[in-house]
Amino acid sequence: MDLMSPAPRYPLERFVRGGPPRDGIPAIDNPRFDEADEANWLEPTSRVLGLSINGEARAYPVAILNWHEIVNDVVAGQPVVVTFCPLCNTGMVFDAEVDGQALSFGVSGLLYESDVLLYDRETESLWSQILSTAVSGQAMGQQLTVLPVKHTTWQAWREEHPGTLVLSRDTGFRRDYLRDPYAGYEQSPTTLFPVSNQAPGPWHAKEWVMGVSFNGEHKAYPYEELSQAGNDRFDDVVGGQPFTVIWDEAHRSASIEWQGEPLPSLMAFWFAWYTFHPGTEVFTAP
């Protein structure tokens, strides 16, 4: 892999090996999908990343993403890359086209601030998932377009999108998708890898938060605070961008929209959001 000299804000010494080598965690390049009724291995409470493009809905179970972290897919004719970092609990979907070229991504085996670094096979550049930016290589400095995705339960996504397809366990790899390889990690207050900015309390380091970023400003919505606030919809503004926060208490899911259209946000562990956005505002319940 070509590791060109990173810019000062991406210091090379912060790129650490996560354990498995490049492609040791294999991306899914030829995903297969089942009808919703065929996915009887999923529980109603199973977590999924839900993606809808031009009326075509797909669910990507976290139980599968824990083992693969990347799915290269095409939805409604649009190349996308579905990404999940179990260490940060961050599920993000990007438009895979950069400068008119559809890129294919793999797991580099490296981490930046405990977050997965993707690499694209066309230029061998490294991409930070949370920053959505190439941090080394030929594409350095270029950005991926973030697409709205819901981190919710299988039941909630299926009720909202009854015609959804769901990523099949027939991935071409032998994995026990009923076993969580990160069991117990969420309950621990410590991280497996060091981060530059330690998240302050009173929230647990692994508290789920929805992070929102517009025009260089950032705000976190801890799920604990959203639950205490007791509002399922309310309006807010970040970086001059108005939006509506939608909180689903029953399914522990938060999202944002503006004028009825979904906008990108990020569900993450509190420590992960804070280390990338140490100047973040934080929503607290009145």
CA distance 233 to 202: 24
Predicted local distance difference test score (pLDDT) of residue 189: 92
Residue 86 near residue 182 (C-beta atoms within 8 A): yes
Predicted local distance difference test score (pLDDT) of residue 9: 58
Q: Helix H segments across the chain? A: 62-68, 154-160, 223-229, 270-276
Digitized pLDDT (tens) for each residue of the chain, 286 residues in all:
333 333 445 667 789 998 899 999 999 999 999 999 999 999 999 999 999 999 999 999 999 999 999 999 999 999 999 999 999 999 999 999 999 999 999 999 999 999 999 999 999 999 999 999 999 999 999 999 999 999 999 999 999 999 999 999 999 999 999 999 999 999 999 999 999 999 998 999 999 999 999 999 999 999 999 999 999 999 999 999 999 999 999 999 999 999 999 999 999 999 999 999 999 999 999 8
- 3-class state of residue 135 by DSSP: strand
pTM, two decimals, is: 0.94
Predicted local distance difference test score (pLDDT) of residue 236: 98
